[in-house]
A and B are shown apart, each in its own frame.
Chain A
Amino acid sequence: MNSWSRFNVTSIVLGFAFLYLPIVLLIVFSFNESKLVTVWGGFSTKWYVSLFHNQGLMDATWVTARVGVISATVATVLGTLAALTLTRYTRFRGRVLFSGMVFAPLVMPEVITGLSLLLLFVAVGLDRGFLTVTLAHITLTMCFVAVVVQSRLVSFDRSLEEAAMDLGATPAKTFFQITLPVILPAIVSGWMLAFTLSLDDLVIASFTSGPGATTLPMKIYSQVRLGVTPEINAACTILIAVVAVGVIVASIANKRREVQRQLDERAAQRG
């Protein structure tokens, strides 16, 4: 079989070029000696050095990290609770409405979410700043966590919980000793998803943030409007590296666990 036909190779090259050419360009130019973004002036890491001396960018990074961690954590708790309710109490009144309302923000245009949150914060007299961005990001990411955790709970064997209760564990103990550890991987990936979403949100943050709480995407966007600098390229390259490392580590760990599991199961079948 000729799997490396000209057609196949062309498709792969075109496809990957479409996906990764812009990112590769960005990374390449972050190492540019020249101040002009589109003219190659030789290799240099000076923009990375100057990046760490740019107080504005560093502050924005710190804000983004704190917003991300706090909102992802709160959203994970709320999203997990919503997922539990949706999978466990299948016969309460208004369940369809409730699940629809939990998942609506998934398809809601961000502009609308951002605008409505802004209106709310103004109406209740909440000053825009760190707190409002965090609250907005909880609203945004909670439903994503709910989806991830719910898909795990659907395949969760309820008899595990019954067995725990049968052996004398109260419902609370059953939840913390059995349910939670078993669905933990889904909760962790829900948290990571929420954190990533918070990290790269620009629209909602622009609506709900205030002075002193500028997030990294907002900072980058505002600087780009004054002209793209290689410093921004460097900041983006670091972001890409962080995300890429996270994804690669997670998938390797997953793969390892899966392979180990298969080996164990084969060994068990042999006796």
Chain B
Amino acid sequence: MKSLGSIRRDFAPWNDPSAKPYIQFDSVTKKFGDFTAVNNLSLTIFEREFFALLGASGCGKSTLLRMLAGFEEPTSGRILLDGQDLRGIPPYRRPVNMMFQSYALFPHMTVENNIAFGLKQEGMPKSDIEKRVAEMLKLVKLEQFAKRKPHQLSGGQRQRVALARSVAKRPKVLLLDEPLGALDKKLREETQFELMDLQQELGLTFVVVTHDQEEAMTMADRIAIMDKGEVMQVATPAEVYEAPASRFVAHFVGNVNMFEGKVAERAANTTRITGATGAQIVVENSTESKAGSDIVFAIRPEKIKVSSKKPTDAVNALEGEVYDVAYLGDMTVYHIRLDDGQIIRASALNAARVTEDPLTWNDRAWVSFRPDAGVVLAR
């Protein structure tokens, strides 16, 4: 069976029309004075989903999270959690917990008191609190650090205390605001997988806010790409990458080449596009590709093959010159200036250590790609 991307997802309630939504944003708008942070936004999140809100700073993703936590009230619209309207419910009565970007650990309390804080507010019996705290410390592997104060911990340890504290109450939903933002790259990658394991283990619904697309792609079941208070696309990481809904999404996630052009001719399965600079491209049919319409053809660099001779079997082959080459270890990135002037970015995986006849600056080169290698988007 064919599918987008290279992984299969068995957990996909969003494709099941009978699945009950767990969190619903229903035409939510949030204004701060004249500034509209969130604009008439509707979104559905399912139980046990790992959901990511991805966007540049100021796109409204954090406001969305804070409205879910109860720190902000929507100007209009409704937010439902498990069927219950959250309007007017203060943060301390909502069954959601949040992990803060700054961790917000209480500096005057030890690690175990930080973790126990929420349980004490609930009025849980003391022996049960002790048991739960021990369990949480074990979960985040901080058993020896129970008596330490936050300032006696490293950044990674603090992050784990914050995590333990926010899941200690077993919330219905865990909100994570840039949970890995303060960690260095290596630790961040490890922690991404730890978070995914934790979510599986506890069976919680996670909503994470991030500006790091790699983080969102790695962890999330689905990603909502946001811009200027609106959702541009909600889809699985593979769909977002391989089938972006708009130019904005295609640009925002990963690298992309764009050919502006017009649909010249539509056949049974394929569409021929005439690029603005004269290049002829044949692509698979899509809803955008009506004859005569102005479109953009978007294609990812790794879907483009670079060769020194004209490929004999390729449907699409364009000639040019090597303008720039960058060797990155795992792959090599080529910038090819086509004869019509457009610069194409192509990347090749360095699957072998030794390359026959490698390309270099100013060599003549051909770029080629399959008809299903890219997507046609509205201009």
Chain A positions within 8 Å of B, measured between CB atoms, are 157, 159-160, 162-170, 173, 178, 181-182, 261, 264-265, 267-269, 271
Complex alpha-carbon distance, A159 and B118, angstroms: 15
Q: Mark B60-94, 1 if CB is under 8 A from A, else 0.
A: 00000000011100000000000000000011110
Q: Which residue in chain B gives the minimum CB-CB distance to A271?
A: B154
Binds A, one of B101-109, B223-231, B316-324: B101-109
Complex alpha-carbon distance, A246 and B208, angstroms: 50
Asked if B100 lies at the interface with its beta carbon under 8 angstroms from chain A, I say yes
Asked if B117 lies at the interface with its beta carbon under 8 angstroms from chain A, I say yes
Taking each of B102, B104, B118, which has the highest tally of chain A beta carbons within 10 Å of its own beta carbon? B104
Measured CB to CB, the closest approach of chain A to B118, in angstroms, equals 3
| Other contacts beyond A162-B69, A261-B151, A264-B149: 14, CB < 8 A | A157-B102, A157-B104, A160-B106, A164-B117, A165-B91, A166-B69, A166-B91, A167-B121, A169-B121, A181-B108, A264-B151, A268-B153, A269-B154, A271-B154
State whether A182 touches B107 (Cβ < 8 A): yes
State whether B92 touches A166 (Cβ < 8 A): yes
Measured CB to CB, the closest approach of chain A to B163, in angstroms, equals 13
The 7 A-B residue pairs whose C-beta atoms are closest, nearest first, are A167-B118, A168-B121, A163-B104, A159-B104, A264-B152, A165-B91, A181-B108
Q: Mark B210-245, 1 if CB is under 8 A from A, else 0.
A: 000000000000000000000000000000000000
> What chain B residues lie within 8 Å of A157 (beta carbons)?
102, 104
Question: CB < 8 Å: which of B98, B106, B108, B152 contacts A166?
Answer: B98
State whether A167 touches B97 (Cβ < 8 A): yes
Complex alpha-carbon distance, A267 and B71, angstroms: 36
Chain B interface residue count: which class? 20 to 34
Measured CB to CB, the closest approach of chain B to A6, in angstroms, equals 46
Complex alpha-carbon distance, A159 and B165, angstroms: 14
> What chain A residues lie within 8 Å of B108 (beta carbons)?
181-182
Question: CB < 8 Å: which of B97, B102, B121, B152 contacts A267?
Answer: B152
Complex alpha-carbon distance, A169 and B119, angstroms: 10
Complex alpha-carbon distance, A127 and B117, angstroms: 51
Asked if B122 lies at the interface with its beta carbon under 8 angstroms from chain A, I say yes
Question: CB < 8 Å: which of B92, B101, B106, B153 contacts A165?
Answer: B92
Measured CB to CB, the closest approach of chain B to A91, in angstroms, equals 10
Asked if B157 lies at the interface with its beta carbon under 8 angstroms from chain A, I say yes
> What chain A residues lie within 8 Å of B166 (beta carbons)?
166-167
